[in-house]
Amino acid sequence: MEAGKQVTAWYCQTRDMTVLIAGCGDLGTEAGLRFAAAGHQVVGLRRSPEKLPPEIHGVYADLSKGVPQLPADVDIVVVAVAADSSTEEAYRAAYLNGVKNVLDALERQSLEPRRILFVSSTAVYKDSGGAVVDESTPTEPTRFSGKILVEAEDLLFARTHGTATRPISLRLGGIYGPGRTRLIDQVRTGKAVIPAQPRHTNRVHRDDAAAMIVHLTTMEQVPDPVYVGVDDYPAEMGEVMQFLAAGMGCPEPPTAEPGGASDAGPGDKRCSNALLRASGFDFAFPTFEEGYRALLDGQGVRHP
């Protein structure tokens, strides 16, 4: 448990912590740059560490197989690995083996970082017919992806139980941001179709997701175990498409025939960020409008 003088001392420490980012891709790098800018030492683990910017000390690791010697003074661990493909095997290798191997390495070296944050997903929740979903909603994933993420979260919670480490699962909605142009491209090329049944899209800009990682791992307040990481406004998909079409001067996408092939069907949920907001987090892009406006203006880069 985090209690006593040692913890108080850490809360006063705003610089000079050692942060390990396991699976340091686009999101991990953006978070790493923010940790570095705040004066912390950042180590990034990935299979191609040469792609990392100079602010992040890159170390080769295949997290699905094992983790090398870790810095002995590690204070914060972030697991932000992504699966190589959308198969059950790839998900198990990245998320489950990734978390297990990081925890094994820490245990091997008898290290107990203050906080470990696992980047999870709102895919752990089943569609709720448009009802509001938050941290108190039971995880009932219907697909293998959500099931494996729940297994990885459970492993993190079980293995840190009774230790000095505070585990956090950050369940992110759909990340959009620089270089993630699928929806923009669909609207621009006339391939986008507005679902006939209203369907909410729970989104978060990459920069806000990175800022959440820094906030939750360094905030003075003791973090809760789970946070839903989405922006303020679960917009309907059609609304986002119409906004993009207007912003790019393209024709408005057509609406699908109810029950037709391009109708997304009734699956739907609206995720709430109230707990994250209550922790003091502020968004740079509170809704898709601010975020997509910045993207259409060409702001930001996707990290390799």
Ligand X SMILES: NC(=O)c1ccc[n+]([C@@H]2O[C@H](COP(=O)([O-])OP(=O)(O)OC[C@H]3O[C@@H](n4cnc5c(N)ncnc54)[C@H](OP(=O)(O)O)[C@@H]3O)[C@@H](O)[C@H]2O)c1
* Contact stretch for ligand X (CB under 6 A) within 10-18, 81-89, 127-135, 288-296: 81-89
Integer angstrom CA distances of residue 153 from 50, 97, 126, 168: 29, 12, 16, 9
- Nearer to ligand X (CB atom), residue 155 or residue 250: 155
Neighbours of 231 (CB within 10 A): 26
- Nearer to ligand X (CB atom), residue 2 or residue 135: 135
Q: Is 169 in the site for ligand X (CB under 6 A)?
A: no
- Nearer to ligand X (CB atom), residue 80 or residue 244: 80
Is the distance from CB of 228 to CB of 275 less than 8 angstroms?
Answer: yes
List binders of ligand X among 5-24 (CB under 6 A): 23
List binders of ligand X among 30-49 (CB under 6 A): 45-48
Q: Is 27 in the site for ligand X (CB under 6 A)?
A: yes
Q: Is 141 in the site for ligand X (CB under 6 A)?
A: no
Q: What single-letter amino acid sits at 45?
A: L
Q: Is 25 in the site for ligand X (CB under 6 A)?
A: yes
* Contact stretch for ligand X (CB under 6 A) within 6-14, 57-65, 106-114, 157-165: 57-65
Helix 144-160 to helix 97-108 angle, to the nearest 10 degrees? 10
Q: Tokens for 15? A: 């610089």
Q: Is 52 in the site for ligand X (CB under 6 A)?
A: no
Q: Applying CB under 6 A, which of residues 18, 19, 21, 26 lies at the interface with ligand X?
A: 26
Shortest Å distance, C-beta 180 to ligand X = 7
CA distance 291 to 222: 29
CA distance 60 to 218: 26
Q: Is 300 in the site for ligand X (CB under 6 A)?
A: no
Q: Is 86 in the site for ligand X (CB under 6 A)?
A: no
- Nearer to ligand X (CB atom), residue 43 or residue 81: 81
Helices (H), 38-172: 88-91, 97-108, 144-160
Mention every residue, 6+ apart, whose C-beta is less than 8 A from residue 226: 135, 153, 168, 169, 171
Shortest Å distance, C-beta 142 to ligand X = 16
Helices (H), the chain: 5-12, 26-37, 88-91, 97-108, 144-160, 182-188, 206-218, 237-248, 274-278, 288-296
Q: Applying CB under 6 A, which of residues 21, 74, 152, 175 lies at the interface with ligand X?
A: 175
List binders of ligand X among 199-238 (CB under 6 A): none
- CB neighbour class for 116 (10 Å; exposed up to 12, middle 13-18, buried from 19): buried
Contacts with ligand X, 100-129, as mask; x by CB under 6 A: -------------------x-x--------
- Nearer to ligand X (CB atom), residue 46 or residue 166: 46
The residue of the chain with the least Cβ separation from ligand X equals: 25
Shortest Å distance, C-beta 275 to ligand X = 17
CA distance 304 to 120: 20
- CB neighbour class for 286 (10 Å; exposed up to 12, middle 13-18, buried from 19): middle
Q: Is 76 in the site for ligand X (CB under 6 A)?
A: no
Instruction: Kindly list the residues in this chain that would bind ligand X in the complex (CB under 6 A).
Output: 23, 25-28, 45-48, 61-64, 80-82, 84, 94, 119, 121, 172, 174-175
